[in-house]
Amino acid sequence: MTQPQSLWDIDVLTEAGQSQKISELLQEQWTLVLLFRHAECIECSMLVYELQPMYAQLKQWNVQLLAVGNGPYESLARLRERLSLPASVTVCSDPTLQLHQNLELHSGWTRSFGGRAMMSFISAMIEGHFQTKLLAPNMPQQSGLVLLNPQKERCWQHSSTHLGDIPSAGEIMEQILLHRSGGGE
């Protein structure tokens, strides 16, 4: 498989259904890339719940949020609405999963439906999160987070090993602070 010249030179679909390179969506600032599983996913709800209290701080720090789904572009409006993503969050989709694969994010049915995944699913439901569709495209694909510096270099990445494996708000903030201050490797 031919790798793109840059990890971010992958075509994605915008909310308007237009093809655009991810690199064109990235601004020259710190960026937190959210790689979602699918528009109806309980884990996406959990991740956004962790991020919501940080929106104002991320804006103050000039950190861009880029949400990448993996369904058809028509699902992006549903993703934005269901998760109450503010207009400041850029939303796009990579239905080919090329970005997910190039970032080596985990995928597999047991990661979505295995024991740890089911325990996380039950815990999330008890906490008030919800999944609005049982089966959706790309169900085995797991999520991830990537922190980019203004030069679009990867500083930190979290790859979910199973449904529900998401970093806490504190972990995310810690990584952003660490790398923005020059303390990251």
Alpha helix (H) ranges present in 61-183? 74-82, 98-102, 109-113, 115-126, 169-180
Weakest-pLDDT range from 107-116, 117-126, 147-156, 173-182: 107-116
The answer to the question of residue 35 being in a domain is: yes
The answer to the question of residue 185 being in a domain is: no
The answer to the question of residue 73 being in a domain is: yes
The answer to the question of residue 52 being in a domain is: yes
Task: Give me the number of domains the chain comprises.
Answer: 1
- Rounded to whole angstroms, the Cα distance separating 7 from 157 reads 14
The answer to the question of residue 3 being in a domain is: no
More reliable by pLDDT, 49 or 88: 88
Highest mean pLDDT among 3-7, 54-58, 133-137, 179-183: 54-58
* Predicted pLDDT at 4: 42
Residues 6 or more apart whose Cβ sits within 8 Å of residue 167:
50, 145, 158, 175
| Domain residue limits at 81 | 11-180
- Rounded to whole angstroms, the Cα distance separating 165 from 111 reads 10
* Predicted pLDDT at 139: 66
Residue 122 pLDDT class (50, 70, 90 cuts): confident
* Predicted pLDDT at 2: 40
* Predicted pLDDT at 1: 33
* Predicted pLDDT at 77: 86
More reliable by pLDDT, 122 or 94: 94
Contact by Cβ (8 Å): 140, 162? no
Residue 3 pLDDT class (50, 70, 90 cuts): very low
Tokens of 90: 């850029």
Cα distances (Å, whole numbers) of residue 71 to 83, 106, 123, 132, 164:
15, 17, 26, 15, 19
The answer to the question of residue 5 being in a domain is: no
Considering only CA atoms, which of 132, 31, 38 is closest in space to residue 76?
A: 38
Highest mean pLDDT among 1-10, 77-86, 119-128, 164-173: 164-173
CATH number for the domain spanning 160: value is: 3.40.30.10
More reliable by pLDDT, 178 or 184: 178
The answer to the question of residue 28 being in a domain is: yes
Tokens of 49: 């719940």
pTM of this structure: 0.82
The answer to the question of residue 135 being in a domain is: yes
Residue-averaged pLDDT of the chain: 83
Sheet bearing 90-93, strands edge to edge: 19-21, 11-14, 90-93, 63-69, 30-35, 144-148, 154-159
